[in-house]
Chains A and B, each alone.
Chain A
Amino acid sequence: MTLSSGDRFSGKLSLHGRNNNIGSVNVDGETISVGPVICEEDERVQLQYLGTRKAGNMSSTYAICLSNHAIDQKEYNEYLDRIIDLLTPNGPPEPGTETYVKIVEVSDDGIGYASPGGQRIGLGPVAAREGDFVQVVGVSPTHARVVDEQLQGENYNTRFWILSEQYDKLPIQLDDEYTSAIAEYDGETPICYVKNIPIVVPDCDGQIGQKLDVRVTTFEDGQIFGEVIELYDEVSRIKNPGHWARMQWLQDAGFEEPTFLRVVSEYIGVPIDQLPEDPDQLKAALISEAIRLCLANKAAESTDPYPRAHITGIRHWVTHKLEPILGESDGDDGWFRQYLDEKNGPNLSFLGDVLKLSNGYYAAGSTRAVLIGREIAILISGVPTAEFLDAGLDVKLRGSSRIIHSTSKSELQSLGIAVQSREEYTTDEVGTYDTEFLAEFIDSRESTEWQGGNDWEAYGGESSYGWTWRDTPLEVEDTKDRLVSLWREPIKYGGDEYYLRVENDDTFSEIRIPQRYFKQLCLIIDSLSGSPRTVEISPLPDTSTLHLALSFSPPRSQYRWLTAVGSEWREFANNRIHWEIPYGAVDSVIEAFEQLPVQIDDVRPN
């Protein structure tokens, strides 16, 4: 036979086997087994010759079917697995030897690995998946090169040479100097590219797109390192620029520094001192305003009594407006959804500026204001900011939130802006969550005999800022001497369900807890057990904000209030959740938390 291992050829299939689904082809009078197929007899398919396997006096000759339409991929891979010992060597292939290996892992950055004879070898970047068989040629005991160019990943040669430490094959050498630009980061370390080769430049504080001169210093562990000779204050023509590069281009177009602030100021129509300085807050203000302007634009074209807009149209409008400035908003994880309605975030739907309707529609939220001090109010509205500025209001932006200064209830009402109380805005029907609330909750709710399942877990009291579940419940006594504990029933394909277990005169009953009360009841149990959760307010030097540290994840009402007043989440640290809250909003924030059975430590100096 004229075929050698790895040769590609085509042939007409014959079918046999019990289910008439095992294919073979005839070459030079020899039958070559192809394995299970799903096509008709006599169909011509593309094949790759493997070789012959001998077992005792018997020998069989094999080829892989390369025509995807002729095979069921899952079934075919199972077949290949069965003849794997024919396909794969017992160890890394010798340098220059061609063979097949099965990919056992593809790393996050697309590097494929095989494990012939239990010894791991790197294949370089692959355009294949785990479980696929690929033809390789041995290079070293630790690396083999993928032969089929279609299965090689992007920029294969360079990446393979670097990974297999064949640095002499690269078109750059030690001490070479190049002009390039920061193209990406690996963690916090910038990377620039020279001749399509990534050069890591540690100790460089350049921004994406920033031009630099770099000297190649080290080849080490499959990476190339360089040092910065000069970092220029100009943008290079690179792919995928970052914020810094876009700001440079806007400067070139005539926006002076601080560029982003000036662009946002022009966009929203407020002076720059009415805008937040923090870039993330500024970005939030810009995106939120674009969404409001879009809804206004769509409303102007509608005759519906309460106009709606579909998410497709809103996304088109907002991303075309802002992607040139902010970069792409990728899918449902991008900045567009983040500020429109991403779950549990400080977004416009959560604030109430936008109404999320069914079937992908949205509408502008009703206009109202909530007073948070004598002369300060939060503005909740889907109407663009310019309308309120034109009405003479002093509006400042804090991220997605808008705050009206130097105003009064009468002024707001005279402008047709409804005024809500904080309680009405946060839609919390309960005055204070305390022991009386717990007793009333138990008395007013339907209770049934305790059914708690084996997989139920009990609330175990304070631990970090979360809610800890244990086998043994933290039990507390309510005002009517009943023993109360809180339980969680895991639901396989849905949100967990919560229950109170109440022991009264040796009888046990359960009461279902609506999701909206679960955190408050945990806080009551913590408080009754003598370990109330804490809220600490302290000054932040050199800022107009205060530091808020919570030892618990706030219930929805308090979270909504924190967001509405323009607070900014900072970090989880030291078993606390840390926020910055605007100075003028602190009293209202304290009031919001006084609704909860928590210990409030106000350590501001008098």
Chain B
Amino acid sequence: MVDNLRTSDIEKQESARQIRTYIGEEPGGRLRLFGVIPSTEWEQFGVAADVDALLQECSISTEGVIHPPTGRSFHPSEPEVSFELDPSATEFRVSIDGSDQLENIVGDWSTDEVSASDIFVGDQTRARRSNSKRQIKLGEWVYAVTDGDVDTLDDEMSLHTLGDWEILAFPAREDTTKLLEQYGADLRTDKYGFEADVILPAEAHPTADKPIESPPGSTVLIGVTPAEEQDPIFEIVSIPKRKGDTVELDPTGPGNTRFYRTKVPQQGSKRVSVHQRNSSRHRLIHLHAVEAEDKQPLAESMYGDLGLTIDHDDQSVLLSPTGETRSVTIESSVTPATLPDMIDYVGPDGIDLELKAHFPPDHPEAPSFTRSTTDIESDLSNMGHWVMQGCTAIDVTFEGIGSVSIAFGEETSKGVSP
């Protein structure tokens, strides 16, 4: 009994050749249904084995899979094998036939078709199809498959399509509990068994169940925290479970964190399950070695442009509060009515900005008027009007960053002249 409980749900599913099924949001908001099965591990091959050849030789046939995996997909350097599924398919199957050394992957892998009332839980990149009665953590993202019969949409809900299905997405929060009751089958936010948070590597998502990719040998620190009044024993169980591989974490008191420290393997993957003893509660931790130079670079968009772009006569100038060019003069030959088309804001929506429009001394608005906005696009559309009223310059201050200015010149010589 204890041994059965100790075996993680992941391992049980893999023994039963079940495909784990996920929904993920792609850039642009499109939803994607995908399946995951394990790749091979270096340990399962003998020293002399030609891994590439063995994988090359295996045969794979599929049903309901949009981009079927190849033998190479199962190489131990891959953390797992994921493949897009056709949401409308009535059968999902990946049949793998190959050498005995591929024992952990050969067989007929399958999972149920998508149906109304299916629930996927996780984060917006990776939410796993969950059975009913699963306990859900506040802050997790929920995707509920519906047959399109959704009455109302609250602010925090969004409706997506996945094939022919309508998918309702919302975060699990205290104020969305009623949605969980309505669409979340028996999902419960109370009495969540325990948290297993990935503290190190620092850049790893703390709660998502996707593989943690980090350089070989780097430190991994997991904080395991039981529910407030509980002080159970936790253990770290390897996946697949092997004799002698279980590590017990000492209790530290009700609701207190226990720490588990380990390292990313030198190559390939290491999967462990944090298990609350005498329960069926498990949390998968999947560590995968990736050489530092192969790590995903930070999104370049973190360095995104911020400022105003001025487009005129095939020239484009970026006025940036932190850049080299912070002011520009637009010659008076430019028709004021065309200014809104020339000037664009680049940067995140909702930033605090202050616009200061300057006027000549004899103007009723002299010397200037100032207005604050978080919606600069609508103020930019008024710029032509201000210039027609005699505005000589506009300063735009980006809260806490700096400012740029646009002067409206008297002379008709050049175009945009930074």
A residues contacting B by CB (< 8 A) are: 235-241, 245-246, 249-250, 252-255, 263, 266-269, 289-290, 293, 295-297, 299-308, 312-313, 315-317, 320-325, 349-350, 352, 355-359, 361, 363-368, 382-384, 386-387, 416, 418, 420, 424-425, 427, 444
Contacts and interface: CB of A to CB of B under 8 A. Distances in A.
B301 A307 contact: yes
Contacts of A368: 322
A455 B78 CA distance: 73
Interface in B200-227: 200, 202-203, 205-207, 219, 221, 223, 225
Nearest to A560: B400
B254 A299 contact: no
A397 B347 CA distance: 28
A293 B203 contact: yes
A235 B372 CA distance: 54
A249 B260 CA distance: 10
B193 to A, nearest CB: 15
A252 B259 CA distance: 8
A325 to B, nearest CB: 7
B257 A324 contact: yes
A290 B202 contact: yes
A382 to B, nearest CB: 7
B290 to A, nearest CB: 14
Contacts of A249: 252, 256-259
Given A266-B219, A293-B203, A424-B402, A306 B347 contact: yes
Q: Which 5 A-B residue pairs are closest in the complex by CB-CB distance? A: A324-B223, A303-B27, A316-B139, A357-B350, A358-B350
* Main SS at interface, chain B: loop
A332 B350 CA distance: 21
Contact of A306 (B139, B250, B258, B306): B306
B199 A384 contact: no
Contacts of A300: 296, 298-299
Given A367-B303, A384-B203, A321 B197 contact: yes
Contacts of B252: 235, 237, 241, 245, 249
Nearest to A305: B304
Contacts of B195: 320
Given A245-B252, A249-B257, A307-B348, 18 more contacts: A241-B256, A253-B221, A295-B302, A306-B346, A306-B347, A307-B299, A307-B301, A308-B348, A308-B350, A321-B198, A324-B225, A355-B348, A355-B399, A358-B350, A365-B401, A366-B401, A383-B302, A386-B203
A183 to B, nearest CB: 10
B400 A352 contact: yes
Interface in B292-348: 296, 298-299, 301-306, 320-324, 346-348
B242 interface: no
Given A246-B257, A427-B402, A418 B348 contact: no
B397 interface: yes
A353 B296 CA distance: 22
B220 to A, nearest CB: 10
Contact of B254 (A239, A255, A289, A296): A239
Contact of B173 (A269, A312, A424): A312
B346 A305 contact: yes
A253 B298 contact: no
B371 interface: no
A382 B299 CA distance: 12
